[in-house]
Structure 1
């Protein structure tokens, strides 16, 4: 499956991206972590980098941050090499794991981090964006895991970054805290900040991302807007209540997957009409019928599954 190319208006100059990978390859031992990856992070957009564990997401982020080198290819961060201090002054980073001094209070952590920047965001703004009301006097080590993630998010925002790296930012957060982070992300993007987001919550990518890049086995499998990614997968979803047994429906031609969700039968299929006709013939009393285009989750699963099947076929042929 070929990546969706960027669309460009030849009559309008396209602003330079904030960060880029061009033809980047990186091998770690016997594993080809990245294999000719191209990635561009524009200002004022959320780019969601998706992939299963081991797909190459962490390697791509670490190369962009200068934490490990690329074997070949070009890496630029705000027009400079990723190790350049001036480039690093304009980024914010929230990784999956962070080691912060547990004895320091939240207010002290914010003060320390703000001291590294020439024109930092105010403490009040950091508190409001990350939902830290009532936590400034608490010691970091005494906070819950979700509260610590919110502090890490606030620290990433302290320096008014032009480019923000958010690696699984809402893992461990309850629904209310997750919604708070989503509002903050939308707010800073509206101010022109570029964001690279990785997440295992596909509904999060669907809600926030302007672009989606799917990495699989170190290669870009798809690159485009959420709607463009969905359009690459012709699947549709049928949802209904029926007396037809699940295993029977799952065996029908054209059915990719069938499952029961909240008392409803949910069927993924390439062509709706023959499956729906067969359902109605088998159960004239079928109810609560909905037919929808596949969401980002289904598109993502289809892309990575197809890549696995193709890889397996090549191995067998060899």
Structure 2
């Protein structure tokens, strides 16, 4: 978190209840200009509720919510955001160009249709009816609609669902461009490799509270595990008994190990099998850190 960078939106002690369910339990969250924040958490963690408060779609029961220093329902504040929700219901009979032209009309200084379409990779779809597009193409159109108003804050909820690898990579390029231009981006995604590739800061929620916050590297540090993969005839049952090996399994000719002291294990592996080959060593990723953080939260809740 960089205090000198302008805060574009914030939740301060936000509480939101739905009957007996507490969706947000005193949540503090700040979004900064030119930053991509990945908001992660298991189902029911409070991600959707937090975004709904920031979008002005619902009100907090307590605490403070600001969008560009104003009430999130203020029209001037809302004109400075773009939104790509997981579910979108758009007029199916309109063409892509008609949808873009309609959305652009809501903003005082929108991007040109050509620029918006190019950034989202839908230039070749402008004359097509929205209903005739595939799911992945519709997601790209929704992205074009979200960015066409030159938003200063962009909310992306599972933006690449239904996209092929090439379309996903192109969307990542466009997101990075928006961030470089100073746009703040809030990303929610179940593709943890997506958050790992894009986010400058990650906030993990659980039961309406922040479980962890920091860079991807900072979150990785919560998991002192390295994955080792190699081709070897060594006995995995014996390997599982080695010091500093927490997990060992065989997949055909390959062995997979988890270790908290990989240097020691690697030296012993090479001594035990000089013919060992196809050696790969990989540190714990965001997926492992996320799993560990949410597991710890669930364990603490059960203990309480």
2:195 to 201, 205, 210: 205
- Counterpart mapping for 1:186-265 below 5 A: 186-246=176-236, 249=239, 254-258=244-248, 264-265=254-255
Matching of residue 291 in structure 1 with residue 281 in structure 2: yes
Task: Report what 2:145 is aligned to.
Answer: 155
Counterpart selection for 1:123 from 110, 113, 118: 113
1:133 counterpart = 2:123 = yes
Residue number in structure 2 paired with 1:167: 157
Q: What is aligned with 2:50?
A: 60
Distance 1:182 1:61 in 2: 21
Residue by residue, what CA displacement relative to the aligned partner does 1:258-305 show, whole Å, maximum 9, x if unpaired? 456796433233333554466456645332223332111111111111
Give the aligned partner of residue 86 of structure 1: 76
Q: Is the contact made by 2:232 and 2:253 (CA closer than 8 Å) also made in structure 1?
A: no
Aligned residues: 304
When residues 54 and 110 of structure 1 are mapped into structure 2, their CA distance, relative to the original with a 3 A threshold, is same
CA contact (8 A) 2:16 2:23 kept: yes
- CA deviation after TM superposition for structure 1 residue 229, in Å: 1.2
**TM-aligned CA distance change 1:313 to 1:274, over 3 Å:** farther
TM-score, normalised by the number of residues in structure 1: 0.88
Matched residues in 2 for 1:262 and 1:15: separation?
A: 51
Work out the CA distance in 2 between the residues paired with 1:59 and 1:76: 15
Partners of 1:160 and 1:242 in 2: CA distance = 55
Indicate the RMSD between aligned Cα atoms, in angstroms: 2.1
Could you tell me which runs of 5 or more consecutive residues in structure 1 were left unpaired when the two chains were aligned: 1-5, 9-13
Deviation per residue, 1:88-131 (Å, 9 max, x gap)? 00000000000000001111000100011111110010111000
**Unpaired segments of 5 or more residues in structure 2?**
none
Match of 1:32 in 2: 22
- Residue 140 of structure 1 deviates from its aligned partner by 0.5
